[in-house]
Structure 1
Amino acid sequence: MNYKKLGLLSFAIILTIGLYSCGSEKKEDQSANSEEFDQAESDLKEQIQEVVYEIPSPSEIPFLLEATGAEYNGSLINDNAKATSYMSINDKAALNLGVYATDIGYLVSYDKVQESLTYLSTAKKLADDLGITGSFDVSLVKRFEENLSRKDSLAFLLNSTIQDTEAYLKDDNRNRLAGLVVAGSFIEGLYISTQLIKSYPKDILPEDSRNLVLTPLIRVVLEQQKACTDLTAMLEGLDSSNPVDQLLANLNLLNKSYAALNIEEQIKNNRADLILSDKTLADITSTVEEMRKGLVE
C-alpha cells in the first residue's frame, strides 16, 4: 500500500525548481548551451527526485506495521496537548507537524478514526502557526469526516496534505522547514516501529519463537536503511545549525548501525537469521529513541 508514488514526483519537481531558482543569477553568467552544466543539472534533478521518492510518506510505515498484525499501542504516539509548546519556534513546529502526520497515519491504519480527527486538528494548529493556510483547512477536515469508513482514502488524503505542505514551503523558499517536516514524519515512523519490537513481552515465548513473531516488524525497520541514507542527504543540503546539525549527527549514527548489520551480505549468504532478531536492532532503537526525544520534548 504505497501512496507516496502518487504525489512525491510532483514534490520532487517543485523541490528542484526551488533549489535552482536560488542560483538563477549565476546561471545567466554561464553559457546557455553548456553541455557540462546541462548534464550536471540533469544529474542533480535525478538525485533530488530519488531522495524524495525513497523517504516514506506519513501513512506508509504505519500501514506496514498494521499489515504485520502488530497490536496498536496508543502510548507510542506524541501527546497532542504538547502542540501549543511547539508554536513559538518554527523548527519545532515543522518537526512535530511531521511527527503528528505519522501519528495520524498510525491511528488511521488501526481504524482509530475519531482520534485521528483530533490529531488532525492538532496538526492544523501547527500548520497555521507556520503560515500554511492552504494545506490544512476546513475542507480537509470535512473530507476526512466524509471518508471515515475508508482507510485507504484517509491515507491518501493525509499523504496528499503533507505533500502539499512540503511543496508550499519549498515554493515559499522555506526549504529548511519542508525538510524538517519530512524528518519528523520519518523519525516518528521508525520510533513506533522500534518501540513495538522493544516492548514485546520477553517472558511469554522462547527467544527463537519470539524472534519469529517479531520478524515482520524487524523487516519493516531494516527496510528503512535506504530512506535513512536519503534523509541524511536531504538534510545535508540545508543550512548548518540546530536542530539540523543534531539530526544529522544522530542520522550518521543510525547509518553506521545499519551498515554494521551488513544486511545485503547476510541475505546473500542465506544468513538473514543473524539480523532478524530484536537484539540486532539495539543500537538503532537507542539512537531513534534519542532522536525522537529531541523532537517532542
Structure 2
Amino acid sequence: MTGTITKIAAVILLAGICSCRNSGPRTGSLSFPVADSVPAGEAEKLSEEALADIVQNIASPVEIASVLQSMQVPFSAGYLAPTREADRLSTNFQKAVMLGIYGADLGYLNIYEKTGNSVEVLSTIKRLADGLRVGQYFDFETLKRLSVSKSNLDSLLFLSVNSYNQIDRYLRDNDRGSISALMIAGVWIEGQYFATQVALNNRDEVLRDRIGEQKIILGDLLMLLRPYSTSSGEYQSLFSMLDQISRKYADVRVSYRLGEPETSEVDGRLIMVQHEESIVEMSDAQLAEIAEMSKEVRNKLISGI
C-alpha cells in the first residue's frame, strides 16, 4: 500500500492546516518543550531542532478525521471520550492527558461540523485547563458562541488552535514542559483510536497507510516522553503502555520513496516541495492487534489508570 504522507506542523492543532513530511513552509507554531525543560541528562540527546523535527512529523487527529470524512464514514458520538470522566480527575497528569484527548475529540466534532455538540466538550476542556492553571488562555465564551451559532467554522478552529498554542507556550516558559508532553500523548492516542476502530470495519487503503505510518510516529512520541518516564509512576505507566502499542507494530514494515516534486510561489519566492510516499506492509491480523492494544491503552487513560 502506498500513500502520500501528510504531516501537520503542530501536534495539538485542531485545524486541517497540513503540510507534507519535512517539505516546505509550515503555518503552525506549537512546539514541544524546549531543551531546558528536559532533564539535564537527556537535553544533550535531544536538541531543540531535533525536538521540533519530531513534532512536525506527528500527525494531527484532524488528518484522521478528514480521511474518515473522505471515506464517507458517518459521524459517531460513540468514538468520543465521555466528558463525565473529567469530574473525577485529580492529578495534573490525568488532566493533561485528558486535555489532549478532549482536544482531539473537539477536532473530530469540528471537522464533521458537529459544532453544536461541541459545547459540552468545550466546557470540559475549560475546566481541565483551569485545573492546570492555564484556563486564562482559553477564550471559552467566544468558542461557545461560535459553536452554538455554527456561523464560522474557520474562526472556531482558529481560536481552538490559538488557545492550545498559548497554553503550550505558557507551560514551556514556566518549566512545565512535561505537561505539554502529556497533552501531545493524549491527542495522539485519541486520533489512533479513531483510526483503528474505523479501520476494523472499513477497508480503506489510505486509512490503513495512515495507521501503518504511526509505527514511526509512535517511536518519535516515545522519544519525546522518555525524559519524563522515570519522574513518577504515572509517567512510567504511560510510557510502558505506549511501548506496548509500539511492540504490536514490530512486524509492520514502513518504507518511503520520493514522490513528484511541486513548485509554488510563497512570498514572491519560488519554493520546491518534495513529497514523500509511504509503502506500508501490514496484515489484517497485525491491524487487529494494534487496534485492540490502542483501544485498551486509550480506555485505561480515560479511566485514570
Q: TM-score, normalised by structure 1?
A: 0.76
Paired residues for 1:98-247 under 5 Å:
98-138=100-140, 140-141=142-143, 144-145=146-147, 148-198=150-200, 200=201, 211=203, 214-240=204-230, 241-247=232-238
Q: Select which of 259, 271, 290 maps to 1:284.
A: 290
Q: CA deviation at 1:126?
A: 0.5
The aligned amino acid for 1:11 is S
Cα distance in 2 for partners of 1:56, 1:263 equals: 16
Distance change (3 Å), C-alpha of 1:151 and 1:138: closer
Cα distance in 2 for partners of 1:148, 1:176 equals: 35
Cα distance in 2 for partners of 1:124, 1:18 equals: 28
Distance change (3 Å), C-alpha of 1:16 and 1:142: same
Q: Which residue of 2 aligns with 1:255?
A: 246
Q: Which residue of 2 aligns with 1:204?
A: none
1:264 maps onto 2:255 in alignment: yes
Distance change (3 Å), C-alpha of 1:17 and 1:44: closer
* Counterpart contact for 1:99–1:187, Cα < 8 Å: yes
Distance change (3 Å), C-alpha of 1:161 and 1:226: farther
1:2 maps onto 2:32 in alignment: no
Q: Which moved more, 1:62-71 or 1:104-113?
A: 62-71
* Counterpart contact for 2:100–2:185, Cα < 8 Å: yes
Q: CA deviation at 1:79?
A: 0.9
Q: CA deviation at 1:143?
A: 6.7
Segments of structure 1 that go 5 or more residues without pairing to the other structure are: 27-36, 201-209, 266-271
1:19 maps onto 2:31 in alignment: no
Cα distance in 2 for partners of 1:150, 1:67 equals: 22
1:48 maps onto 2:51 in alignment: yes
Q: CA deviation at 1:55?
A: 2.0
* Counterpart contact for 1:64–1:220, Cα < 8 Å: no
1:64 maps onto 2:67 in alignment: yes
Q: Which residue of 2 aligns with 1:80?
A: 83
SS in structure 2 at match of 1:70: coil
Cα distance in 2 for partners of 1:85, 1:49 equals: 34
Q: CA deviation at 1:142?
A: 5.5
* Counterpart contact for 2:129–2:135, Cα < 8 Å: yes
Distance change (3 Å), C-alpha of 1:215 and 1:279: farther
SS in structure 2 at match of 1:111: coil
Distance change (3 Å), C-alpha of 1:44 and 1:249: same
Q: CA deviation at 1:195?
A: 1.1
Root-mean-square deviation (CA, aligned residues, Å) is: 3.0
Say which structure is richer in strand: 2
Segments of structure 2 that go 5 or more residues without pairing to the other structure are: 1-15, 20-25, 257-278
Q: CA deviation at 1:147?
A: 7.7
Q: CA deviation at 1:11?
A: 2.3
Distance change (3 Å), C-alpha of 1:85 and 1:3: farther
* Counterpart contact for 2:193–2:295, Cα < 8 Å: yes
* Counterpart contact for 2:69–2:112, Cα < 8 Å: yes
- Of all paired residues, the percent bearing the same amino acid is 28
* Counterpart contact for 2:130–2:136, Cα < 8 Å: no
Q: TM-score, normalised by structure 2?
A: 0.74
* Counterpart contact for 2:215–2:249, Cα < 8 Å: yes
Say which structure is richer in helix: 1
Q: Show CA shifts across 1:57-101 (max 9, x none).
A: 453332333233222121111111221111x21111111010100
Give the greater-gyration-radius structure (CA).
Answer: 1
Cα distance in 2 for partners of 1:94, 1:136 equals: 15
Number of residue-to-residue matches in the alignment: 259
Cα distance in 2 for partners of 1:95, 1:72 equals: 24
